[in-house]
Amino acid sequence: MPAALIPRDEVVRRLFDAFRTFGYEGATLARLSEATGLGRASLYHYFPEGKDGMAREVIALAREWIKSNVNAPLVNVGEPATSRLKTALRNVANGYDNGRAACLINIFGIGDANDVVREALRETASLYSHGFERLLLDAGVQKSKAREISFDTVIQIEGALVLARALDDRSVFTKRIQKLEKQYLELIG
Amino acid sequence: MPAALIPRDEVVRRLFDAFRTFGYEGATLARLSEATGLGRASLYHYFPEGKDGMAREVIALAREWIKSNVNAPLVNVGEPATSRLKTALRNVANGYDNGRAACLINIFGIGDANDVVREALRETASLYSHGFERLLLDAGVQKSKAREISFDTVIQIEGALVLARALDDRSVFTKRIQKLEKQYLELIG
DNA sequence: GTCTATAATAGGATAGAC
DNA sequence: GTCTATCCTATTATAGAC
């Protein structure tokens, strides 16, 4: 019985990349096989539920990524608010490869996903704004205002990614992240 | 020789709807056939270049839509700036069915489109911000500032559409449009 | 866990009658 | 312009050997 070529986590990470590059429908098993280096049969060994199961695990990875790379830094009360924000935004920029990579929240929102995927998507999108909201509340911003701004933050991230891809110009994204940082520093600095 | 069941323009409009509902890869010929009411063979009669040709015409329709429904109202110097803006934003809200429909600029930016589609996409995305930029310039806003705000406008539209779909909450989109109107009125009112 | 082989279906596209 | 029939390929998925 041959050993696993790569850890399961790494398989999921590569699937994640493939899904957000090609979209759900565009991510064919041939491409997923190439992205992971695993044959189709091996993919079905890892994911008996097939492509749908892969998608579910990939969304779960996205959720964990947001938790550890965005929300955890933002609510890390040991640090001053400004450096918490900078860490989170740096992680956001890196996570999207500075605008080259798309967001799964967008990708899986296209087409007719099943209910499980749709609910996971809703939860993940909601989670995304929570960290920013907490940071603003900690900094003394009023609740309704904090909610509005944190929503606005996710909207700007998603919109900038879309426009950067359409214009084929990453700076549209990186500049927007810089502008977000500036806006936050005016509020919480 | 049977007459055409529907005008060609209407066929393209229905394809437009199908593409932005399902994405390029998700828009199968079966679905395009159902959306238009035409058999596959008839679709190939209208579009000898197949699905790719349909996509190109659909993007052209999107460009024309932006020109007549967004940019034309925005630069209509016969009207006061505020009502020009209101007309354009109302058209934007309607064009996306108040947040229920996705934007082709996003849809066709996913996956690996060919060069023709990619270039058309770039042009269309660029066109989108031009009308808003012109309105701001007319209102006396400084050029660099006008450019920045008009970009920001498209980013917010695209981002709000993504988030509204992910959260399955149209109000995320409609509220953002209202906020955009308010921001503009502070500048040009 | 990986492999080869293969089933079963859906996808894009075309031919030719009407 | 539309229809039925069909081709070919790609796609998802499974079986069984190692």
Identify whether A90 is part of a domain. Answer: yes
Q: Please tell me the total count of domains within chain A.
A: 1
Give yes or no for a contact between B99 and B161, defined as CB atoms under 8 angstroms apart: yes
Identify whether B5 is part of a domain. Answer: no
Q: B124 — phi, psi (to 5°)?
A: -65, -45
Give the model's pLDDT for residue B2. Answer: 58
Give yes or no for a contact between B102 and A110, defined as CB atoms under 8 angstroms apart: yes
List the one residue out of B97, B102, B76 whose CA is nearest residue B22. Answer: B102
Indicate whether B1 pLDDT > 60. Answer: no
Burial-class residue A131 by CB neighbours within 10 Å (0-12, 13-18, 19+): buried
How large is the angle between the packed helices B171-188 and A143-167, nearest 10 degrees? 90
Identify whether B149 is part of a domain. Answer: yes
pLDDT tens for A26-62 read 999 999 999 999 999 999 999 999 999 999 999 999 9
Identify whether B170 is part of a domain. Answer: yes
**Residue appearing with tokens 């015409």:** B57
The nucleotide lying nearest A47 (C-alpha to C1') is D13
- Per-residue pLDDT band for A1 (boundaries 50, 70, 90) equals very low
C-alpha to C-alpha distance for B169 and B189, rounded to whole angstroms? 30
Identify whether B34 is part of a domain. Answer: no
Mean pLDDT computed over every residue of chain B: 96
pLDDT tens for A136-167 read 999 999 999 999 999 999 999 999 999 999 99
Q: How far is A42 from chain B (nearest CA, A)?
A: 25
Give the model's pLDDT for residue B3. Answer: 67
Per cent of chain B over pLDDT 70 is 98
The amino acid sitting at A83 is: S
pLDDT tens for B7-54 read 999 999 999 999 999 999 999 999 999 999 999 999 999 999 999 999
Give yes or no for a contact between A147 and A124, defined as CB atoms under 8 angstroms apart: no
C-alpha to C-alpha distance for A152 and A154, rounded to whole angstroms? 6
> Which residues, numbered 4 to 23 in chain A, qualify as contacts with chain B under a Cβ-Cβ cut-off of 8 Å?
21-23
Domain range for A105: 57-188
Identify whether A2 is part of a domain. Answer: no
- Per-residue pLDDT band for A5 (boundaries 50, 70, 90) equals confident
Give the model's pLDDT for residue A3. Answer: 65
How large is the angle between the packed helices A143-167 and B143-167, nearest 10 degrees? 100
Identify whether A25 is part of a domain. Answer: no
CATH classification at residue B92: 1.10.357.10
pLDDT tens for A80-94 read 999 999 999 999 999
Q: Does A163 touch chain B (CB under 8 A)?
A: yes
Residue A41 CB closer than 7 angstroms to strand D? yes
Angstrom CA distances, B65 to A94, B70, B74, stand at 35, 8, 13
Return the residue in B20, B100, B103, B106 with the most chain A beta carbons within 10 A, the one to mutate for interface testing. Answer: B106
The nucleotide lying nearest B25 (C-alpha to C1') is C11
pLDDT tens for B72-116 read 999 999 999 999 999 999 999 999 999 999 999 999 999 988 999
Residues of B whose CB is below 8 A from A30: none
